[in-house]
Amino acid sequence: MKKLIIISILLLASACKTNPFTGKSTLNFMPNSKVFPMAFSQYSTFLESNKVITNTNEAEMVKKVGERIAKAAKLWLDTNGYKGYLDDYRWEYNLVDSPEVNAWCMPGGKIVVYTGILPITKTEAGLAVVMGHEVAHALADHGAQRMSASTLQQIGAVAGSLALQTSKYSAYTEQFMAAYGLGTNLGVMLPFSRSNETEADAIGIQIMAIAGYDPAEAPELWKRMSAKGSKSTPTLLSTHPSDESRIRNLTALVAKAKAEAAKFGVNKFQ
């Protein structure tokens, strides 16, 4: 127990890392030097076992949008005092043949877009909404934050279990583990995940605007996404905000994104 407490204190003491886009301290004790090599390796393995599409207009569009988003992110970071923030990134943009309506960006800038999402994105600007959002997850270290939170969750479970086993309440260890798992998932991990998604929406719409894509396309994309989706999971049980709240939030962020883009001389959008 003492060792676990000491480890937890040390982890928390080293957990503060500033999010450049919000200025807030975040829970993150996973350094890029550890996370990035793991992500790059997993990305290579994924590409080897999936059909990557090359030399098509759609594949070229994914690369073009990705490069513009990455350039805009670097421009914003360099201008706002975070020069060198992307030095360890190894950007890569691939279109993968899959009916899945999805896209993702691993820590360090490794991006995949599935062909299944293209009928919903429709245009280059629509694709920029999706890729801006996914890149925002990487820029804000959301993957490392989830790993950090999960580690603390596991330490808490072990500490609680050990404490009960050495007390007069040892018979309730199994019930504690079940309640702890449910309580931390519903009360901490899922809200944490939804918060990350909302933050990525706000960062992503800003980056796409700086890249020259119309931020007004963001809520429109989610309207199309919502129309294609099945009955949504209740927000309390979901890793993502509801489509309605995303559309509402993104609509409110359009003017701010355009104003941010204007600081970089971008006043016309694709």
C-alpha 88: how far from chain center? 18
Task: Output Rg (C-alpha) for the chain, integer angstroms.
Answer: 20
Q: What is the DSSP string of 104-152?
A: EEETTTEEEEEGGGHHHH-SHHHHHHHHHHHHHHHHTTHHHHHHHHHHH
Q: How far apart are CA 66 and CA 109, in angstroms?
A: 10
**Which residues partner with 148 through β-bridges?**
none
Asked whether the CA dihedral 227, 221, 145, 256 is positive or negative, the reply is negative
One DSSP character per residue, 195-230 reads: HHHHHHHHHHHHHHHHTT--TTHHHHHHHHHHHHS-
CA-to-CA dists, residue 35 to 29, 89, 189, angstroms? 10, 11, 20
Q: Is the dihedral of CA 217, 265, 63, 77 positive or negative?
A: negative
Which two structure tokens, joined as six digits, stand for 142?
């959301």
At residue 256, the 3 state secondary structure works out as: helix
| DSSP-based three-state secondary structure for 53 | strand
Q: Which of 48, 92, 124, 134 is catalytic?
A: 134
Residue 197 is a catalytic residue: no
Catalytic positions: 134
